[in-house]
Chains A and B, each alone.
Chain A
Amino acid sequence: MVSLFFLKGHGERPMKLSRQRFSHYALGSVVTLAVALGIGTTNAFSQSSTTIKVDGSSTVYPISEAMAEEFMKQNSGTQVTVGVSGTGGGFKKFCAGETDISNASRPIKKSEIEACKAKGIEYTEIEIGKDALSVVVSTKNTWLTDITIAELKKLWEPDAEKKIMKWNEVNPKWPDTKIALYGPGTDSGTFDYFTAAIVGVEDFSRADYTATEDDNIIAQGVSKDENALGYFGYAYYVENNKILRTVKVNGVEPSETTVNNGAYHPLARSLYIYVKKSSLSSNPKVKAFVEFNLKNARRIVPDIGYVALPESRYTAALKNL
């Protein structure tokens, strides 16, 4: 500052003004330094005890969001945060000990079990509901009401690429019209599950279809084309049931009954939450939250567009906590 006065000289007016403004900002950077120093001295994890950290699958996210919201209405001192890292990304954080609960749209994989073991993370697996992967066509489509697993495989397997281009090539009874396919992109857990269940090998799919991470685009695309077919989670069908129609797979329609009695096989997938055992035992709030999940699943899970398990399954899980 001393040097500033020293150099002031003639100091044209506009110059002086901006110099004043400048020193304001110089002050700002001093504050930054002070803050940076302050961080080191303050207690880093003052809030971790009252925060329940949930992360993982984007499919399970709406369930956790609803549970967290309702749980916090009743337990005002507790904060629940929910992230969307995908099932795999969620397990990475979970097995590094960074989260209390990991959402998953498939069971934990061997490699992930080992990663958790290596870090000494023990967990409880809880099935929270089911999602029926739905094969949908436009309501304009009049002829495709039933499809077999074999036909779906013929339609979606990698060998179909550039070969199976017309519907009558899948089934001679179907019309001689061009096939338009819509499906989730390769990063999606839905894609993993569908390919494993239909083609037989995870992530094996034909690539010449409209792939998108936004399931709403699938709904829009399929609805406008009577020769289009797509697949996604049941919730997206429910929201679009005026413009879309589900196709029976091996003669079975997706519904709560067919999903729970196992008839809608293999496209019904389980949704899980994985809870860290040490959080369950050391943090009563985590336990309360998991119990809240199980007690309210029958009400909340269908509300979101998924299929709830029978009451007995939830009470059994409650007992095993």
Chain B
Amino acid sequence: MAKSFTQPDDRAQPPVFLASLSQRKTLGGLFQLLAWLATVLAIVILAWLLLDVARQGWSRLDWQFLTSFPSRRAAQAGIVASLTGTFWIMIIVALVSFPVAVGAALYLEEFARDSWFSRLIEININNLAGVPSIIYGLLGLTVFVRIMEPITGGRSLLAGALTLALLILPIIIVATREALRAVPDSIRMAGLAMGGSRWQVVWAHVLPAAFSGILTGMILALSRAIGETAPLIALGALAFVPFTPGCSKEFPYFNPGDIVRCPGDLLHSAFTVMPIQIFNWIGRPQKAFHDNAAAGIIVLMAMLLLMNGGAILLRNRSQGARGKS
């Protein structure tokens, strides 16, 4: 094996045939062991990290922690402001990015002809998916915070959500396109043969068939947005926010109806999110704040697991449905 790597001329030739069966089997076993070790290593490191965080933060994780505002005393501090901030950011990011991303993917997959223009868009979307998140933060600072200030109200929940929506748009578009491609062409053909227009076929057949795939991509993209700190810090999200966005100022501080009851207050509100709160606590000298950070990480991890679990559930459901039909 080493020989073939060192001599580039050999590359085109088929691998050397080993006559001995036991030798081949040993090689196979060795490779399997290596692959197994790679998996185990990744899992062990992850488990170690999780255990370390759990050990440090578990005792801090109680009702008081979940329902208190930030405080200078670590024992009185809590994450309610950042938790509701994260909820709201996720809701608005989903509401904004979903129609735009699905629309763009539909256009590219179902309507666009193969022209230089659509190819240009495609290349750009794929490139955008790889742009570092801090760049989106700087873009958001200029566009949403500064230029669009009359609409967004400056460093507001809306500006933050729009920035994160931009960040995950390419991811959702790519995922949606994959889901649309997985819909068999025969469904489109049948729809068109029945005399339906392209729009009717897409709306009534293609989209519903691809929907759980789209939703999975959406949730995975949101899981990425939930952990982003850099773009929001660049945007100037705050660290100490002693209130929650919206007009629910009493416990439980979070009411999805606020988006209809007081959209102005809500969307223009200052906000903080979990990763920023955690980041802030970790940088403190006092150990008690580090415990708070660990507890915050547990909450964030739980949210992430719930979301990813939801994505898996949706995927399984769609696969089951396809299997039956």
Interface residues of A (CB under 8 A from B): 3-4, 6-9, 12-15, 17-19, 21-22, 25, 28-29, 31-32, 35, 38-40, 42-47, 51, 53, 55, 58, 61-62, 64-66, 68-69, 72, 79-85, 89, 93, 98, 213-216, 219, 235-236, 238-240, 304-305
Query: Chain B's nearest CB lies how many Å from the CB of A15?
Result: 6
When distances are taken between beta carbons in the complex, the residues of chain B under 8 Å from A216 are 282-283, 285, 290
Residues of B within 8 A of A31 (CB): 95, 259-260
Distance between Cα atoms of A320 and B199 in the complex (Å): 71
Bound complex: CA of A101 vs CA of B191, how far in Å?
A: 63
Chain B 285-300 interface mask (CB, 8 Å, partner A; 1/0): 1110010000000000
**Residue interface mask B62-95, A partner, CB < 8 A = 1:** 0000000011100000000000000000000001
Are A8 and B204 interface neighbours, CB within 8 A?
yes
The answer to whether B98 and A4 touch across the interface, beta carbons within 8 angstroms, is no
Does B263 lie within 8 Å of A38, measured CB to CB? yes
Q: Which of B150-158, B169-177, B220-228 interfaces with chain A?
A: B150-158
Minimum CB–CB distance for B147 against chain A, Å: 13
| Chain A nearest CB, measured from B88 CB (Å) | 12
| Pairs A–B under 8 Å by Cβ, sample size 27 | A7-B204, A7-B205, A18-B212, A19-B204, A19-B208, A25-B98, A29-B99, A31-B95, A35-B259, A39-B158, A43-B264, A44-B264, A44-B268, A46-B265, A55-B236, A62-B284, A65-B70, A80-B242, A81-B238, A82-B238, A83-B236, A84-B239, A85-B236, A89-B236, A215-B283, A236-B285, A239-B285
Contacts A28-B95, A38-B264, A216-B285 known; A18 to B209 CB distance under 8 Å? yes
The interface of chain B, by Cβ under 8 A from chain A, is 70-72, 95-96, 98-99, 150-151, 153-155, 158, 191, 194, 196, 199-201, 203-205, 207-209, 211-212, 233, 236-243, 259-260, 262-265, 267-270, 280, 282-287, 290, 318, 321-322, 324-325
B194 lies within 8 A of A7 (CB) = yes
Q: A42 to B153, alpha carbons, bound, how many Å?
A: 11
CA distance A228 to B13 in the complex (A): 56
Instruction: Please determine whether B196 and A7 come into contact, CB atoms closer than 8 angstroms.
Output: yes
In the complex formed, the residue of A with least CB distance to B241 is A81
Q: Is the interface of A mostly helix, strand, loop or mixed?
A: helix
Q: Known pairs A83-B236, A216-B283. 11 more at Cβ < 8 A?
A: A3-B200, A7-B201, A8-B204, A12-B325, A19-B204, A31-B260, A55-B236, A79-B242, A83-B239, A84-B280, A98-B154
B242 to chain A, nearest CB (A): 6
Contacts of B265 in A (CB 8 A): 42, 46-47
Whole-angstrom distance between the alpha carbons of A108 and B96 in the complex?
40
List of B residues within 8 angstroms of A213 by Cβ: 283
Assembly CA distance A235 to B71 (angstroms): 18
Q: In this complex, what residue of A is CB-closest to B285?
A: A239
Asked, given contacts A6-B200, A9-B194, A35-B259, whether A22 binds B95 with beta carbons under 8 Å apart, the answer is: no
Report Cα–Cα, A14/B324, bound state, in Å: 8
**By the criterion CB–CB under 8 Å, are B95 and A3 in contact?**
no
CB contacts (< 8 Å) of B204 on chain A: these are: 3-4, 7-8, 19
* In the complex, chain B residues whose CB is within 8 Å of the CB of A45: 153, 268
Q: Are A14 and B321 in contact (CB under 8 A)?
A: yes
* Chain A residues closer than 8 Å to B264, beta-carbon distance: 38-39, 42-44, 46
Instruction: Check A51 against B270 for contact (C-beta < 8 Å).
Output: yes
Contacts of A39 in B (CB 8 A): 151, 158, 263-264, 267
Return the chain B residue nearest A232 by Cβ.
B285
For residue B50, give the distance in angstroms from its CB to the closest CB of chain A: 20
On whether A214 and B283 interact (CB within 8 A), knowing A69-B242, A85-B236, the answer reads: yes
B233 / chain A contacts, CB cutoff of 8 Å: 84
Residues of B within 8 A of A22 (CB): 207-208, 211
Q: How far is the CB of B322 from chain A (nearest CB, A)?
A: 8
CA of A69 to CA of B31, assembled, Å = 59
- Whether A65 lies near B72 (C-beta < 8 A) is yes
Chain B residues, Cβ within 8 Å of A19: 204, 208
Cα distance A8–B99 in the bound complex, in angstroms? 23
CB atoms of A83 and B238 under 8 A apart: yes
Complex formed: what's the CA distance from A24 to B289 in Å? Answer: 43
Q: Which of A12, A29, A64, A81 has the most CB of B within 10 A?
A: A81
Q: Taking A39-B158, A72-B242 as contacts, is the C-beta distance between A28 and B98 under 8 angstroms?
A: yes
The residue from B70, B72, B95, B203 contacting A4, defined by CB atoms under 8 A apart: B203
- Give the residue name and chain of the B residue nearest to A21 (CB): B211
Query: Which residues on the A side are within 8 Å of B203 (C-beta)?
Result: 3-4
**Shortest beta-carbon distance, B267 to chain A, in Å?**
6
With contacts A7-B205, A29-B95 taken as known, whether A82 is within 8 angstroms of B194 at the C-beta atoms is no
Q: How far is the CA of A204 from the CA of B268 in the complex (A)?
A: 42
Say whether A235 contacts B96, CB under 8 Å: no
Question: Hey, which chain B residues are within 8 Å of A66, CB to CB?
Answer: 72
**CB-based closest 10 A-B pairs:** A42-B264, A82-B240, A14-B321, A239-B285, A66-B72, A29-B99, A7-B204, A32-B95, A83-B238, A19-B208
B290 in contact with A62 (CB, 8 Å): no
Report B-chain residues with C-beta under 8 Å of the C-beta of A21.
211
B230 to chain A, nearest CB (A): 13
**Residue in B closest to A80 when the chains form the complex, CB atoms:** B242
Chain A residues lying within 8 Å of B208, measured Cβ to Cβ, are: 15, 18-19, 22
A-side contacts of B199, CB under 8 Å: 3
Q: Cβ of B262: which chain A residues have Cβ within 8 Å of it?
A: 42
When the two chains form their complex, are residues B72 and A69 in contact, meaning their CB atoms are under 8 A apart? Answer: yes
Is the CB–CB distance between A61 and B239 below 8 Å?
A: yes
Complex interface: chain B residues within 8 A of A219 (CB) = 285
Specify which of B95, B242, B243 is in contact with A35 (CB 8 Å cutoff).
Answer: B95
Complex: how many Å from CA A214 to CA B290?
12
Q: Least Cβ distance of B27 to chain A in Å?
A: 43
Give every chain B residue within 8 A of A304 (Cβ-Cβ). 72
> Which single residue of chain B is at the shortest CB-CB distance from A41?
B264
Chain B proximity of A92: nearest CB distance (Å): 9
CA distance A43 to B264 in the complex (A): 7
